[in-house]
Amino acid sequence: MTGETVGWFQARADALHLSTITVAEIESGIAKLRRTGSEHRAENLRVWFDRILETYGERVLAFDIDAARIAGILDDAARAAGRHPGFPDVAIASIAKMHEFVVLTVNLRHFQPLGVDAVNPFSLN
């Protein structure tokens, strides 16, 4: 991460949120590292992620009934357009749409068919 990118994140820290879906994806990655024998990497990621969760606290947004209803609509629209971004991305997009947030992701193409604003944070200044 460049200094400019770090500065961008720091300047907006209080406005940034995580989704519970993102939490599940990172926990899955940690579990996979442990399962495949990368204990050191898993532990480093665990320490980092525990700090992130402590920092975000109340800014971890749940996938609830309202988000689920939006997810159903977004998923159908994506499928109608011949796209299948996968449930995690649909769920993240629905949470963002519900709160009128922008998704920060390096996988912009996954969110394009979902009708939610998405930006690659590593391309920001």
Q: Please enumerate in sequence order all residues whose Cβ is within 8 A of that of 22, keeping only pairs 6 or more positions apart, or say none.
A: 92
pLDDT of residue 25: 95
Higher per-residue pLDDT: 87 or 124: 87
What's the pLDDT tens digit per position in 30-85? Answer: 999 999 999 999 999 999 999 999 988 899 999 999 999 999 999 999 999 999 88
CATH of residue 84: 3.40.50.1010
pLDDT of residue 60: 96
- Assign 3-state DSSP to the chain and report helix, strand, coil percentages, each to 5: 70, 5, 25
Average pLDDT over residues 20-38: 97
pLDDT of residue 9: 74
103 pLDDT above the threshold of 60: yes
Least confident of 3-17, 45-59, 110-124: 3-17
Which residue matches tokens 């357009």?
Answer: 81
Could you tell me the pTM of the whole model? 0.87
Overall number of domains in the chain = 1
CA 109, 30, 5 angle in degrees (round to 5)?
50
With b for 16 or more beta-carbon neighbours within 10 A and e for fewer, the 3-22 pattern comes to eeeeebeeeeeeeeebbbbb
123 pLDDT above the threshold of 60: yes
- Is residue 115 classed as helix, strand or coil in its secondary structure? coil
pLDDT of residue 2: 62
Quote the domain boundaries for residue 30: 3-123
- Average pLDDT, whole number, for the chain? 91
